[in-house]
A and B are shown apart, each in its own frame.
Chain A
């Protein structure tokens, strides 16, 4: 039987199709991971800037967004520097309101 099988070759397993499917899934997933941070960070930064600007006039360079990946979790760090003058104005205003 085995001899006949080897002569007439058993129907192929078509394992290449399985390989392709598995690769397409994993490669797409890994590309997603690679591109996520550079992709959405600029947009996130821009939107944050717009929200903060509603209250405090700041510019692009005063918002820092940093994403760190460590095994299993991600840390999104936001650092917004408020301008000193503005802080003083805000403080004065709140002081003024108190008296």
Chain B
């Protein structure tokens, strides 16, 4: 039976889809059968980040409405074995995601997969609520910035009260913090919330810190999940994150500013 993981944040533009794409790709690379579902009905984007936008025929809503079956809608990734994408509908609205429909599709997927990654839309409306409702675990993506941290806290409240696990009084959804777009030198300078500041405010365990990196934009330009760029800092950070999720005890990298070179020390001030 598969484990369902929601990638959520409340605020938009913090890196949910980037994280979903890389996290799912990393799990599949390590041999787990993984499907990543785009819950952002009406604003589909996961297909672009995964580089499969031209192969979308049927989507999640088609499957919910029995207009297509799962095998017709699932897109098999061409680079990584064991990885499948279920794209969102571009034409419907989020009301198309019924609780019963989502549950039926997830139950069908649970049989054949190890991990189901749900890429949540921004906000706290239906799409976001449906993405987290059936989750066993949650990756809460946060940027070191006030509005993102506040919205993440709000999402943590929703996970604790409106998920199926909360409603049934089961063991609560396991929460993991993913701190993305982190700039260690700015945090060192006191211009950006540090990893510890965010941890202190949100109070959930840290799964990974993804440094601000030009590679993220470059790889999304190309439709390649950034984890596949494993020589880049962001790619390596996602690799560590997946290993940590699977139980490896790895120290956090890219959380402190790199040592300055001679010229930087000479001209760099503090």
**Which A residues lie at the B interface, using CB under 8 A?**
7-9, 11-17, 19-20, 22-24, 26-27, 30-31, 34
Q: Min CB distance, A17 to chain B, in Å?
A: 7
Q: Is B150 an interface residue (CB 8 A)?
A: yes
**B267 adjacent to A23 (CB under 8 Å):** no
The distance in angstroms between the C-alpha atoms of A69 and B63, with both chains bound, is 38
Q: What residues on A are CB-neighbors of B269 within 8 Å? A: 7-9
Measured CB to CB, the nearest residue on chain A to B158 is A34
Q: For the complex, would chain B's binding face be called helix, strand, loop or mixed by DSSP majority? A: helix
Whether B189 and A12, one on each chain, are in contact in the complex, defined by CB atoms closer than 8 angstroms, is: yes
User: CB-CB contacts of B169-212 with A at 8 A, as 1s and 0s?
Assistant: 00000000000000000010111111001001100000000000
Q: Is the CB of A12 within 8 A of B150?
A: no
- Is B80 engaged at the interface, CB distance under 8 Å to the other chain? no
A-B contacts counted at CB < 8 A amount to: 55
Q: How far is the CA of A22 from the CA of B191 in the complex (A)?
A: 14
Please tell me if B110 contacts chain A, counting CB pairs below 8 Å. Answer: no
B149 CB within 8 Å of chain A: yes
Chain B residues lying within 8 Å of A34, measured Cβ to Cβ, are: 157, 161
Using A12-B190, A13-B191 as known contacts, say yes or no to A31 and B157 having CB atoms under 8 A apart. yes
The reply to whether A15 and B153 contact each other, CB–CB distance below 8 Å, is no
Q: What residue in chain A is nearest B267 (Cβ atoms)?
A: A7
Contacts of B201 in A (CB 8 A): 20, 23-24, 27
Count of chain B residues with a beta carbon within 8 Å of a chain A beta carbon = 22
Residue of A11, A16, A26 near B150 (CB, 8 A) is A26
B interface residue numbers (CB < 8 A to A): 145-146, 149-150, 153-154, 157, 161, 187, 189-194, 197, 200-201, 267-270
8 closest residue pairs by CB, A with B: A9-B269, A14-B190, A8-B269, A20-B197, A12-B189, A12-B190, A34-B157, A27-B153
The answer to whether A27 touches B191 (Cβ under 8 A) is: no
User: Are A15's CB and B190's CB within 8 A?
Assistant: yes
What's the minimum C-beta distance from B19 to chain A, rounded to whole angstroms?
22
Please measure, in the bound complex, the distance between the C-alpha atom of A91 and the C-alpha atom of B190, giving whole angstroms: 74
Q: For the complex, what is the distance from the CA of A20 to the CA of B153, rounded to whole Å?
A: 14
A37 to chain B, nearest CB (A): 11
Do B190 and A13 touch (CB < 8 A)?
yes
Give me 5 other A-B pairs in contact (C-beta within 8 A), A16-B190, A23-B193, A27-B153 excluded: A12-B189, A16-B191, A19-B197, A26-B150, A30-B154
Given contacts A7-B269, A9-B269, contact A16 B154 (CB under 8 A): no
Asked if A16 meets B193 with Cβ closer than 8 Å, knowing A24-B201, A30-B153, A31-B157, the reply is yes
Q: Smallest Cβ distance from B201 to chain A, in angstroms? A: 5
- Shortest A49–chain B CB gap in Å is 23
